[in-house]
Homo-oligomer: A and B are copies of this chain.
């Protein structure tokens, strides 16, 4: 019988695909094993358990988000950059509905890779706001507001929380425009 040739990476990648298909909360070791054509306990050679799998998925997703945000911001500044990064954020969440919630997990202080990915994502936003002339505490506050607004919008949208017929895309654009204005006139 040939060997499956797994690795921690391969397991996490399959978990990511599965999470996107069935939802983050329905991600299960049993399903991952079945997908990989392997018995469930075999996974324990690559991940410590279901909790560790979620942790690794968080690192993967955070790194992907960081890369997409950074790419979106490249070569842009001000309102252009803000809109591009906001759109990239939302796009990622819609393309990867299972990975995105994993991003919410607080970075494990003991995992340098996780910390680095999280910092890379935040820095992409921070840099844009720095371009608005924001600095120090103001830049921190502004970054938090950006993350809160965009993340909140994304999760409410994904949960079907917007019932009214008004176009959701337009509401998002309006929100990002309001953020742009707020940053221009920011007073700390």
Within 8 A of B (CB), among A159-177: 159-164, 166, 168, 170-171, 174-175
Contact segment of A36-44, A66-74, A76-84, A104-112: A104-112
Q: How far is the CB of A54 from chain B (nearest CB, A)?
A: 11
Contact segment of A2-10, A12-20, A91-99, A142-150: A142-150
Q: What separation, in Å, do the CA atoms of A144 and B178 have in the docked complex?
A: 12
Tell which of B107, B160, B166 touches A141, judged by Cβ atoms closer than 8 Å. Answer: B166
Q: Does A52 contact B (CB under 8 A)?
A: no
Bin the interface of chain A by size: 35 or more
Q: Which residue of B lies closest to A182 (CB)?
A: B178
Q: Does A140 contact B (CB under 8 A)?
A: yes
Tell which of B107, B138, B151, B166 touches A137, judged by Cβ atoms closer than 8 Å. Answer: B166
Q: List chain A positions with a Cβ less than 8 A from chain B.
A: 25, 104-107, 118, 137-138, 140-141, 144-145, 147-153, 155-156, 159-164, 166, 168, 170-171, 174-175, 178, 181-182, 185-186, 188
Known: A144-B153, A148-B156, A151-B156; 6 extra A-B contacts, CB below 8 A, are A140-B166, A144-B168, A144-B175, A149-B152, A174-B188, A178-B186
> 9 closest A-B pairs (Cβ-Cβ)?
A152-B152, A106-B160, A148-B152, A148-B153, A141-B174, A151-B152, A140-B166, A178-B182, A145-B175
